[in-house]
A and B are shown apart, each in its own frame.
Chain A
Amino acid sequence: MKRFIHLTYFIFILFILNIPSIENVDRSNFKTCEQSSFCRRQRKYKPDISPYEIDLNSTKIIKNGHLRFLLLNTLKSHIKFKLEIFTLEHNSLRIKINELNPIRKRYEVKYSLVGELKLVNMNITKSDEKQIEVNFGERTKFLLNAKPFRLDLFTNDIFVMSVNSNNMFNFEYYRKKPESNKTATNNNNEDGMWEETFKNHHDSKPYGPSSIGVDVNFLNFENVYGIPEHADAFSLRSTHDSDPYRLFNVDVFEYDILNPMALYGSVPYMLAHNEHTTVGFFWLNSAEGWIDVNYNKLSLKNFFSTNTNFFATQSNTKNNEIPEVTTHWMFESGIFDGFFFMGPTPRDIFKQYTVITGSVPLPPLWAIAYHQCRWNYIDEDDVRNVLNGFEHHRIPLDVIWLDIEHTNGKRYFTWDISKFPNPEKLQDDIAIYRRKIITVSDPHIKKDDGYQIYNEAKTRGYFVKTKDGQDYEGSCWPGSSMWLEFFNPDIFKWYSQRYLFENYKGTTGNLFLWNDMNEPSVFNGPEITFPKDIVHYGGWEDREVHNLYGMLHHMSTFQGLLNRSNGHIRPFILTRSFFAGSQRTAAIWTGDNSAQWSHLKITIPMLLSLSITGFGFSGADVGGFFNNPDPKLLVRWYQMAAYQPFYREHAHIDTARREPWLFGDDNTRLIRQAIEQRYSYLPYWYTLFYKQERQGIPPMLPLWANFPKDKKIFKSEDSFMIGNGLLVYPVIEADINQISVYFPGENTVWYDIQTYTQYNGSETVLINVDMESIPVYQLGGVIIPRRLRKRRSSMIALHDPITLVVALDRNYEAKGELYMDDGYTYDYRRKRELIYRRFTFKNNELRSTSLDTTAKFHTDAWIERIIILGYPENPSRVIINSGDKQATPLHNYQEASHTLIIRRPGPSVTSDWTLSIS
């Protein structure tokens, strides 16, 4: 009876409180464009004629490669702007527009750029009172139209991009606040200019309106990509019927998929790709941004009636119509600082963007192996038991993670000694297996006089300040907290020093870092983050620099870890918040996803979007952070993530344990197999990460990056490639026994990596799948180095022998690379201790040559096996020559699959050799 009454009472309470479903994000916590006044103003700005004009008489050549003009708003002639054009190396162009004499200095982001940008010569081919035409780079040019202001860009004489061709350029100059608010009420355009309120949060806006809008249009393109981070499609969707895509770093609790809401990080960089060209536009701006995307048909009659030859596609021009993607970019503050990357190939684009913002440096080898995480591994015994579980179940593992509960009451840089009485011993014991430990360190500092970090920061005035100059106080995990002012170089340095062994007690060289909650997450702040009128170092409002906060946090951590080893050991940091340039110092993950099939699926487009915008080292929580995955979902996630750059299982504190062996023997085996596959391909992954450091090409790629002319794959997001050699079609549906696999590329041949079955390019094949299946195919023409031996961790396998998998193309040729070094130091840079080999198969000969003859690295690793796929017949003899030595290794030929296996060819990986088949 009593129990019954309680139950009904409880149900009653549920009703009156109307507790929302735990499944979805509370969208009302975050602004829509309508609720963000500058977006509201900019979005409706659509004049028929742009009032902005360039005064070509003002043209000034600062130096070769750098031009300056005056830009005027003809409706407000007292406001002058300065427009600067820089022609940069690698077919890149930079346009900066700022007020000529602003009453308040406007913020320019510097943290994203690496070093001085190199100018290249301009060749002014035409200049009259209407326009100016300039050639630069390799067959790239721009045309600057004066009245109205418009910029047209051409690659190989093909018209690719246009700025302000839709007249949406709109620059809100800084102005004095009107005496009365008469104008504000009378004039619709000034709506929300001087203050606004969202929920209970008031934004004081002391400097008034300062936003900039501009339209950037991609001509003859039907797909644009990038502008992460959104849980949305890879080929960006039209925002015609939705909000624009938003860029504003926020902590979204249980985010929804397939919508343009902002997430933890922002990169204002968009790519467009068609079968001829790949181009990119990057607006370096750290304020809140919104981007509308629309897919249109452009009538050429109204555009360039005389210049239809600018467009490469002939078929469409018959109707005098070409496709166009129009995009409208709106930022709340800062300057217009646009970079235009002219391609023309996907690889060029990756290079062009990463020359400007930096590429992902080669991570330590263990960081691209498997990570085990949970909020939280409770204490030392728990950690040891989990590690024993991996030993017992023979599952390789490199890193175990400790979330917030390992600290003393969420005071970062401390340990809860009741649970971790001897963390150094724990790290030393883990080090025996060459494994690592990672602890979390967030930017909020618990308000507690007894906490040394707080005390010191408080005394020194190191906390972020409100508009009134008080220390800003908000709430986060520890309760009342304050945030460190990383924009101040002294504080940046001081914070980095907290990671030194003498300051971060209980740490050893085996411990690395995780920076979470750094958007920053402020539980009681507007949109769960800082108020915009917070004043950062230098007097800049959070409004101007918001999206940089997380990046500065992890950059400081990186500096600390670097200094900890005197610059000898490569740091590893995982960050949740990021901005353009974050890739130089941290890996990222897609935050708090959920144990649902839809989230497994969305991981592919999310990671691809990150990959092509510089973040080649990214991943999603395996299994999904919130809720409990059923075993099938968990297995499928392990299988997919085995082929994604950052491979970590992680789970919320409220979920059931999900270590790989908790779901029965079959599932344990399936998970083990997935992780083993990851380890077997680590030599390939590591080589790809090295290439990324050098060339900016991310390891995980959209199919079009390798097959740019194959129009069928421009929207693909059910599949992806690892390097140019592996095509991955993960099983991402719950109950299916067949998947449809399209093999891209004309005249290509593909090999199933398990069975070596061959498939032809440009064909779609139904592939039978069961729970064992991870459909992955190696491209004919590519040689992939693997380690088929098993080890407990990646570093233990460092010098183990290599198996080369040579997949022949239709001409019986193939090539590939192998990069190796010590796996964890900077000696590969400082002492050139590395090997970088090229393998080439041609004319029945497989050669190993060095791609970097000045390099040296000592290793016992040798080639233990060569598997040649698609070899037409059983050869009579195989001979290998290395220096003056010769040998005739045994071989085995499998008729059915046309596979030739050479047993123990034996050369060291460091030597030159030639294998001849006859």
Chain B
Amino acid sequence: MMFLFYVNLATILCFFTSISNGNIQQTVLRGVQTSLLSMYIPSKPFTCLDGSLTIPFEFVNDDYCDCQDGSDEPGTSACPNGQFFCENKGYFGTLIPSHFVGDGVCDCCDGSDEYETIIVCNNTCFELAQKFQASRDAQRALHAAGVEKKKQILASTTTNKFGRQKHLDELEQDLKILEKELKEKEELKRQVEILENAAKEKHKKLCEEKRTMQDVSLRNNQMHEMFADLDTNGDSLISIDELQKHTELDTNQQNEFTIEEVRSILGSDSVNLNEFNTTIFDQISNSYRQLPEPTRPTPEPTPLPEPSIDSMTTQSPSLETFIDEEDLTTHTRSSYKYEDEDDYEEDHHRESKTLATSIEHEKHIHDSVAPEYDDETKKLMEIAEEARNRYHEIGEKFLSIKHQIEDLKKQSTVDAGPHDEYSPIIDQCFDYEEREYTYRICMFKTAKQISKGGGSEVIIGYWDSWCGPKDNKYLKMKYSNGATCWNGPPRSLIVTLQCGIEQKLTDVREPSRCEYTIIFETPLACDENIATTSLHSDHVEF
């Protein structure tokens, strides 16, 4: 757009004629806002409001854009950037872009922007004012009721800053006591476990001795059996002929089981039982097979049973069981390392649970594998078990308090609003039910999408920050860095807070793939100022 700079106004004025034009019935001050009327004086040349140009007053609202800021044409659509003032009697006066003038759309409630178009604009100012009043009253009532509710909530809650600190102090006291107790229990456990282990060790040794003896006698039986079996002619000697039938003993399967090969096994032409026991038996016992009955045809070697699909799947551990076993070993080894914060933090959610199962597991292993213990060992084991249980009991209590302290500490770092008014909902969870999903927001913590069809739970965001507009930061909450979408961004959620009597989530949307929005209605968002605005301070001009 080109703007003109007329220098010699006097000359211009005498040339100012034109052929038929836009048929503007000049209403000289049309569209000028009340506060600027003093700038538009019909008897004086007009200076564009940005000061860039002075023009004859006849150029004001003559349907030609002279001023760069559009200020010479408030009442026509000539300038792309001018402003038209709708007087809107009975309602608020408003400014609209001057290019809305005469465009066939009723933008002013008094219809003044469509003064020369064929469309007829009804005057809707009175209606609008009524609606405005009604909605303002409703807002006021809502906020008034909401503020009452908010006060109740704030009064009844202990989770404000003060309550939290008090609670924290108490818990820390408890923790100290528990820590001491835990150490005692650990020492006790350690002592009785020494006794228990010694007894078990002793028991284990006895078992091993017994087993060795059993093994020796077993071998002896087998040896005798085999000798009898090989000695087919019953002469108490095993000859080359007799052994040669056992081709399975041929280490070189390529050729025949030759006499030489048999002899190299026997070491001579024949052996007696004693020689067999000392030199031959151990050599052949692994490959030796009984000869089949000569009358029956040689049976097919029975194939190994085919592993069924079931057995395969049950054999190969699923991911879940794999993880569990790993956890198990980790946790059976671990103790309550309260001084080791890092390890502790890693898994603190599951620690106590898996611990319990690991103990059961241990029990199970002992029951099934170990042979019967003698009474003395059993008693020692019972004592040790008791000590372990005490230790774990205290340990769990300790952990639970530890977590509470962590949570409280975390909570006290949360920015819960300009007056800490959102304190009561810290960590509180709210659900929104939709066709397919439940949306669960645990305030200042996480937002999740839970499939109703069962199963999967997807994190759509972790608490990030307040993200309202500059002048109203606490209007919106942002939860970000949720699970990443395939071919998309990490999920995220914007929660808009709204004054409401009940606390509830409404209107979940997904304007872009995996970027969610939701509204949270809560009395905590209700505003004392709105609730108490006096009726007389209205700006509506009736």
Q: Which residues of A contact B (CB under 8 A)?
A: 1-2, 5, 9, 22, 378, 382, 394, 432-434, 653-657, 676, 788-792, 796, 800-801, 860, 862, 864-865, 867, 880, 882, 885-890, 892, 899, 901, 903-908, 913
Contacts and interface: CB of A to CB of B under 8 A. Distances in A.
B2 A867 contact: yes
Contacts of B485: 654
A253 to B, nearest CB: 12
What band does the interface of chain B fall in when counting residues whose beta carbon is under 8 Å from A?
35 or more
A184 B118 CA distance: 78
A432 B105 CA distance: 6
Contacts of A382: 509, 511
A433 B77 contact: no
B103 A2 contact: no
Given A378-B511, A432-B105, A792-B103, A885 B323 contact: no
Contacts of B105: 432-433, 792, 796
A831 B441 CA distance: 64
A656 to B, nearest CB: 5
Contacts of A434: 104
A880 B511 contact: no
B347 A885 contact: no
Rank and list the top 5 A-B pairs by shortest CB-CB distance, nearest first.
A790-B80, A906-B18, A892-B4, A906-B19, A790-B99
Interface string B484-517: 0101110000000000000000000111110100
A420 to B, nearest CB: 15
A1 B328 CA distance: 13
Contacts of B99: 789-792
B58 to A, nearest CB: 11
Contacts of B6: 890, 892
Contacts of A791: 77, 99, 103
A657 B516 CA distance: 12
Interface in B234-279: none
A382 B513 CA distance: 14
A93 to B, nearest CB: 51
Interface string B34-73: 0000000000000000000000000000111100000000
A905 to B, nearest CB: 7
18 contacts: A5-B319, A432-B105, A654-B485, A655-B512, A656-B513, A789-B78, A800-B77, A862-B20, A887-B17, A888-B17, A889-B15, A892-B6, A901-B4, A903-B4, A904-B63, A904-B64, A906-B18, A906-B20
Contacts of B350: 2
Given A378-B509, A655-B513, A656-B489, A907 B103 contact: no
Contacts of A903: 4, 64
Contact of A656 (B12, B62, B515): B515
B16 interface: yes
Contact of A789 (B80, B513, B515): B80
A1 B329 CA distance: 13
Given A791-B103, A882-B19, A394 B97 contact: yes
B19 A885 contact: yes
Interface string B93-125: 000010110011100000000000000000000
A657 B489 CA distance: 12
Contacts of B19: 880, 882, 885-887, 905-907, 913
Contact of A864 (B5, B22, B104, B487): B22
B64 A864 contact: yes
A657 B487 CA distance: 15
Given A9-B319, A788-B80, A653 B513 contact: yes
B462 to A, nearest CB: 13
Contacts of B100: 792
Contacts of B78: 789, 864
Contacts of A860: 22-23
A604 B412 CA distance: 58
Contact of B20 (A2, A654, A892, A908): A908
B513 A907 contact: no
A902 to B, nearest CB: 10
B323 A901 contact: no
A333 to B, nearest CB: 39
B393 interface: no
B103 A905 contact: no
A654 B15 contact: no
Given A654-B487, A888-B17, 4 more contacts: A653-B513, A791-B99, A860-B23, A901-B2
B346 interface: yes
A37 B203 CA distance: 82
Nearest to B11: A890
B96 to A, nearest CB: 10
B116 to A, nearest CB: 10
A298 to B, nearest CB: 51
A656 B512 contact: yes
A333 B41 CA distance: 81
B489 to A, nearest CB: 7
A206 to B, nearest CB: 41
Contacts of A655: 512-513
A774 B100 CA distance: 27
Contacts of A862: 20-22
Contacts of B488: 654
